[in-house]
Structure 1
Amino acid sequence: MSTQIAVRFQVGAGNGVPLFGRFSYDRADPYAVRAQFFAHDAVLPTWCFDRQMLAEGLHRPVGEGDVTFRPQGEDGGRVVRIELRDSEGGQGAVLLVAASAVSGFLDETYAVTAPGDETVDVDGFLAELLARRYP
C-alpha cells in the first residue's frame, strides 16, 4: 500500500519548496516504510525508514545519523521534521510533512500489520537467498 503526501523541502528560513512524497508499506517487510520524493519531473532517491521510529517522531525527537524525526510547531507538532543526511554525515535535507498525514498513513499500515504483530519469515528468506546463490 502507498499514499502520496505533500512535503516541503526546507530551504533556509523561507517557506520551502513543495514536493510530493510517496510513502509505501509492504507487509513482507513489516518494520520498514519507504519514501520516495518527487520534485517537478525529477524522482529523488528512495529512503527506507523504521516504521516505529517514524511513529515516535510524531511525539518526540528520535533517530541519529542518516535519518532523524521530530515534531515541530505549536501544540507538540503540527508537522514532522525529517532530516536526511548522506552516509558520510555531510550535507543533508530537511523535509516538513503534516503530522496528520503521517499519522493517517501509519494508521493504514497498522490495518495491514498491527504494531507488535510484525514477523519476518527467516526460513523463507534463507531459502530464497540460497536458491539465488546456488541454483
Structure 2
Amino acid sequence: MPTHSALADVHMAVAGAGRVPFLAHLYYDSADPYTVQVQFFDRGTALARWHFDREMLAEGLHRRIGEGDVVFRPQRTADGDEVLMELRDHTVPGPRTAAVAADTATVAEFLEQTYALVPAGAEVLDLDGPLQDLLTR
C-alpha cells in the first residue's frame, strides 16, 4: 500500500524557556486511510507518537476542532500561520497538556499528498482480513 511521510520543524511553548524547537515525522499509510501518525523527536530521541484523524487535522488548519485528548486550531504568529496541536496525556497522575505548533503550509502540503493517495470520501478499511485472522485463532 502507498505511504507518504514528511519531516516538519515544530515547537512547543515552555514556561521560562520560550519556544523550544524539535522535529516531527508525519506518516500516512493508505492501508489505514483515516489516520495520520506523528512521531516527535528531539536530537534523535523519540519523544512520543500520536495517531490523529486525518480529516480532523485538515479541519484544524482552518478552525478549532476536537475535544478531550486532542485539539487542533489555527493561530497566527509573528512568524506566520501555524496549526496548534493541544495534546493531553492522561496516563500519568495529573493530566498534562503539550501545545505543539507546526507551520500551516508544511502540514497542508503533507495532507495534500495524502489526499492524492486516498481522496477524501474514498477511504476504505479492510476489516475482513483482520477479523478473519481473529476468528481463526
Give the TM-score, by structure 2 length. Answer: 0.88
Deviation at 1:128, TM superposition (A): 2.6
Q: 1:121 Cα shift?
A: 1.1
User: Do the aligned residues in 1 keep the contact of 2:75 with 2:83 (CA within 8 Å)?
Assistant: yes
Comparing both structures, which one devotes a greater share of its residues to strand?
2
What residue in structure 2 maps to residue 79 of structure 1? 82
Aligned with 1:54 (options 54, 57, 65): 57
Q: Which residue of 2 aligns with 1:25?
A: 28
Return closer, same or farther for 1:12/1:26 CA change in 2, 3 Å cut-off. same
Q: 2:108 aligns with which of 98, 103, 108?
A: 103
* Mapped pair 1:121 → 2:126: yes
**Superimposed CA distance per residue, residues 30-52 of structure 1 (whole angstroms, 9 cap, x where no aligned partner):** 00000000012321121000000
Alignment RMSD: 1.7
Change in CA separation of 1:71 and 1:13 when aligned onto 2, cut-off 3 Å: farther
Question: What is the CA-CA distance between 1:14 and the residue it aligns to?
Answer: 5.6
User: Which of the numbers 42, 49, 54 marks the counterpart of 2:45?
Assistant: 42
Could you tell me how far 1:13 is from its partner in structure 2?
7.3
Q: Distance in 2 between matches of 1:15 and 1:97?
A: 15
After TM superposition, the score normalised by the length of structure 1 is 0.89
| Displacement after TM superposition at 1:10 (Å) | 1.4
The percentage of aligned residue pairs carrying the same residue is 45
- Distance of aligned partners of 1:61 and 1:27 in 2 relative to their CA distance in 1, 3 Å threshold: same
13 and 72 in structure 1: CA distance in 2 versus 1, 3 angstrom threshold: farther
Where structure 2 has 5 or more consecutive residues not aligned to the other structure, the ranges are none
Give the equivalent residue in structure 2 for 1:92. Answer: 97
SS of residue in 1 equivalent to 2:29: coil
Q: Is the 8 A contact 2:88 2:97 kept in 1?
A: yes
Is the partner of 1:69 in helix, strand or coil?
strand
What whole-Å deviation, never above 9, does each CA across 1:4-34 have from its counterpart, x for those lacking one? 0110111137641111100000011100000
- C-alpha distance in 1 between matches for 2:75 and 2:43: 26
Partner residue in 2 for 1:3: 6
- Determine if contact 2:90/2:96 at 8 Å carries over to the other structure: no
Give 5+ residue unaligned stretches, structure 1: none
